[in-house]
Amino acid sequence: MNRARRARIVATLGPASREPGMVKALAKAGADVFRLNFSHGSHEDHAAALKAVRGAELALQRPLGVLADLQGPKLRLGTFADGKIEVTPGHRMVFDLDPTPGGPDRVSMPHPEIFAALRPGMALLIDDGRVRLKVVEAAKDNALVEVVAGKALSDRKGVAVPDAVIPLSALTEKDHRDLQFALRIGVDWVALSFVQRAEDMAELRKLVAGRAACLAKIEKPSALQDLEAILNYCDGVMVARGDLGVECAPEEVPVAQKQILRAARNRGVPAIVATQMLESMTTQPTPTRAEASDVANAVYEGADAVMLSAETASGQYPLEAVSVMNRIMERVEADPVWPSLMDAEHAGMDDADADALVAAARKAADASSTACIAVFTTLGGTARRMARERPLQPVIALTPKPETARRLSLVWGLEPRLAAQPETLEDVTDLAVEQAVEAGFAKPGQRILILAGTPFGAPGAANLLRLAHAPLGGRPRRAAKAG
């Protein structure tokens, strides 16, 4: 089963969508990667959801990725004696470490790490920014704050500190347990929340130890400031606009989205645009026009993937949400202007040999007789380099490793397929032609560009570019299938 578009869809599984029949329907409708949100649901729920994805993958004969999204630290206020208090601008109160239920004059904020980072003049955002506070005085175990905007504070509302880097690991004890479970059941991607600096991703990468690809959720201003360093430890990034929209001014979020997408593409790192893409479809069968434009703009910007959250996890119309998103993306990519936008920006060359070969393949693919590009890849590096160039022809990523095929299902324009490891140059040509013809990407007589590396099977950069043609009659010699 092939996609008629290059950008990919990430769908979150939850109570509305984790049953095997629905998972298969979502994949058939357009979902390429399925997200397991570890902020909700039990380990048993997530294991069942992953099993359903693997069943859909087998039924549809298309690699499907699974993304485990770790919850990260949740910074919250304590409780109030009456459950809530009314506030007005100018109201002053103390936040402290005392667990006693609070009132109009004080309340607990049980996070010494926050007090360690606070300075007079800093902003505090409560309840997703519904209440804005200013720090007047700060000590190691308390702070005097003043209300700038908002009407009420209530029990256990979230706290955000946009002006500070909190001296807190992005991985909680819960995250450690969830991570080990996710790796044990065989997820393909792990997303880290609350990333503030490159060290957070380095810690995750060390724990994962190559068992999955690592993705950073960019949702804090400090992460934006350290973006290039964070990308050094990433296999992917997510523009997490929910929390980013709380900690940044609204006008900053679209600019941040473009900044992240541009930096990720320059590195050849797949990027997901997430949060409120089709939010109204949690309760309505069609999106708003603004939401349709939001999805379209992400595709025009060259995002590798767009993500559905509550729309598919708990919404009333999960299948319709994926179907609508798929149609919007296909329509954008049919726009005559879209190819020029994809070709407008190309990354610099980091590895002279591999990048030069990929650039040559991208240029050669412009010939009208070229039907597709076949890339042999062991760990996915060569395929991602090819995707970074945004070729308009289908790119078949051929790999003997199921885990590589599943990870590449997130990457722009790639059609990952399992294939035997070639042993000779003849195998390279035969396998590429066979896969291109069987998948329907090449018709008799059309040109197929082949990118591979020698020695065969050794992870590393491509060093071989070949031209082949789909046979005019008969079938190419069948090579051994991947085991």
pLDDT in tens, 352-409: 677 888 888 888 888 778 999 999 999 999 999 999 999 999 999 999 999 999 999 9
pTM of the model as a whole: 0.94
Q: What is the rounded distance in angstroms from the CA atom of residue 91 to the CA atom of residue 104? A: 9
pLDDT attached to residue 348? 65
Give whole-number Cα distances, 408 to 292, 310, 347, 386, in Å.
26, 24, 20, 12
Neighbours of 423 (CB within 10 A): 13
Amino acid identity of residue 479, one-letter, is A
pLDDT over 70 (residue 330):
yes
Region of poorest pLDDT, from 15-29, 144-158, 257-271, 344-358 = 344-358
217 is an active site residue: yes
331 is an active site residue: no
Average of per-residue pLDDT across 285-297: 98
pLDDT attached to residue 480? 40
Taking alpha carbons only, the member of 431, 473, 475, 472 closest to residue 450 is 431
Selected residue with higher pLDDT from 369 and 332: 332
Selected residue with higher pLDDT from 343 and 238: 238
35 is an active site residue: yes
Q: Is the CATH number 3.40.50.300 carried by domain 8-72+170-335? A: no
409: tokens are 């299902």
Q: Is the CATH number 2.40.33.10 carried by domain 84-160? A: yes
**Domain coordinates in residue numbering, the chain:** 8-72+170-335, 84-160, 352-469
pLDDT in tens, 415-462: 999 999 898 889 999 999 999 999 999 998 899 999 998 877 777 667
pLDDT attached to residue 476? 53
pLDDT category at 3 given cuts 50, 70, 90 is very high
pLDDT attached to residue 355? 81
pLDDT attached to residue 444? 87
pLDDT attached to residue 82? 96
275 is an active site residue: yes
pLDDT category at 61 given cuts 50, 70, 90 is very high
- Chain position carrying tokens 């590429």: 432
298: tokens are 């992400």
pLDDT category at 122 given cuts 50, 70, 90 is very high
Share of the chain above pLDDT 90, in %: 83
225: tokens are 């400031």
CATH class of 352-469: alpha beta
pLDDT attached to residue 474? 52
pLDDT in tens, 155-174: 999 999 999 999 999 999 99
Average of per-residue pLDDT across 76-104: 97
pLDDT attached to residue 358? 87
- Of 28, 74, 76, 174, the catalytic one is 76
pLDDT over 80 (residue 483):
no
Share of the chain above pLDDT 70, in %: 96
pLDDT attached to residue 346? 74
- Of 35, 205, 362, 384, the catalytic one is 35
- Of 5, 12, 205, 275, the catalytic one is 275
pLDDT attached to residue 473? 65
pLDDT attached to residue 459? 73
pLDDT category at 181 given cuts 50, 70, 90 is very high
Task: Give yes or no for a contact between 325 and 33, defined as CB atoms under 8 angstroms apart.
Answer: no
- Of 8, 217, 220, 390, the catalytic one is 217
pLDDT in tens, 26-42: 999 999 999 999 999 99
pLDDT attached to residue 464? 87
Report the mean per-residue pLDDT for the chain. 93
